């Protein structure tokens, strides 16, 4: 099982490095309902990732996805498609990057963070974790990797639980800092928010480019091997 976890570790780290959700969470931690909203956001993030893993596992359990099978070859083809999707997103991200001296543009919904209630914070996190194209593609690819190994269901669940834990660390950490450091956390979180806002386009471009080629390579290697 260690090799399975090692195989999906890069995808988990890539999901964890999600600047927009982290910025949104930090803004929540500065709002009036900081504790309730941030905890709801954390739970929603975990639920979003778990839902994608569960759906892909459920579909995979009805198919023979062991190495060399027709269904496995189809999943390799899906990885190629997901890789191409990430590469296209990298291209679009690069084209939309702010020019010299321009302020980075954040999604319009961020201006409503202060007005969110826990239920909406939960739903927002589910969407950012499970529906966001980058995270969706990477979570699907990681789950396919686990399913293709043909390990027992219990071990597969443990491997994906580790994936979700690692993919959630950057959401969990600000919540813990706020809970245990109180007012002292403001300086740390503000520094993170400022850096992520300024470097969002660059970080996302590199991630999408690298993992686009990673998934493309996995798919092509699987089909040719």
Q: Check if the beta carbon of residue 217 is closer than 8 Å to that of residue 87.
A: no
In tens, the pLDDT along 50-69 reads: 999 999 988 877 766 655 55
The crossing angle, in degrees rounded to 10, of helices 2-16 and 169-181 is 70
Confidence (pLDDT) at 158: 94
Return the sign of the alpha-carbon dihedral for residues 118, 120, 124, 130. Answer: positive
Cα dist from 4 to 128, 148, 158, whole Å? 25, 10, 10
Instruction: Report the residue count for the chain.
Output: 225
Residues near 43 by beta carbon (within 8 Å), at least 6 away in sequence: 122, 125
Judged by average pLDDT, the poorest of 102-111, 115-124, 189-198 is 102-111
pLDDT band at 19 (very low <50, low <70, confident <90, very high): very high
Span 160-185, pLDDT tens digits: 999 999 999 999 999 999 988 877 88
Q: Are 86 and 1 in contact (CB under 8 A)?
A: no
pLDDT tier at 110, thresholds 50, 70, 90: confident
Nearest to 208 by CA among 128, 131, 135: 135
Please, is 171 exposed, middle or buried when counting C-beta atoms within 10 Å of its C-beta (0-12, 13-18, 19+)?
buried
Using alpha carbons, list the distances in angstroms from residue 115 to 49, 62, 95, 154.
25, 43, 32, 41
Confidence of residue 114 (pLDDT cuts 50, 70, 90): confident
């Amino acid at each position: 099982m260690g090799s399975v976890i090692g195989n999906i570790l890069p995808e988990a780290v890539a999901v964890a490095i999600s600047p927009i959700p982290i910025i949104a969470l930090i803004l929540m931690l500065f709002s009036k309902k900081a504790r309730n909203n941030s905890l709801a956001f954390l739970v929603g993030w975990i639920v979003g990732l778990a839902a994608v893993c569960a759906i892909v596992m459920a579909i995979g359990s009805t198919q023979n996805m062991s190495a060399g099978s027709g269904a496995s070859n189809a999943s390799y083809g899906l990885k190629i498609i997901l890789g191409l999707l990430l590469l296209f997103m990298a291209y679009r991200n690069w084209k939309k990057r702010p020019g010299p001296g321009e302020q980075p543009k954040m999604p319009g919904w961020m201006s409503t963070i202060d007005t969110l209630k826990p239920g909406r914070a939960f739903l927002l996190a589910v969407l950012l974790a499970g529906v966001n194209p980058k995270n969706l593609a990477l979570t699907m690819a990681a789950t396919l990797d686990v399913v293709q190994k043909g390990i027992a269901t219990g071990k597969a669940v443990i491997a994906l639980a580790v994936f979700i834990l690692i993919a959630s660390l950057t959401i969990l950490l600000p919540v813990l800092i706020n809970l245990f450091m109180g007012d002292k956390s403001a300086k740390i979180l503000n520094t993170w928010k400022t850096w992520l806002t300024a470097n969002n386009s660059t970080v996302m471009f590199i991630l999408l480019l690298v993992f686009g080629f990673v998934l493309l390579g996995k798919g092509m290697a699987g089909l040719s091997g």
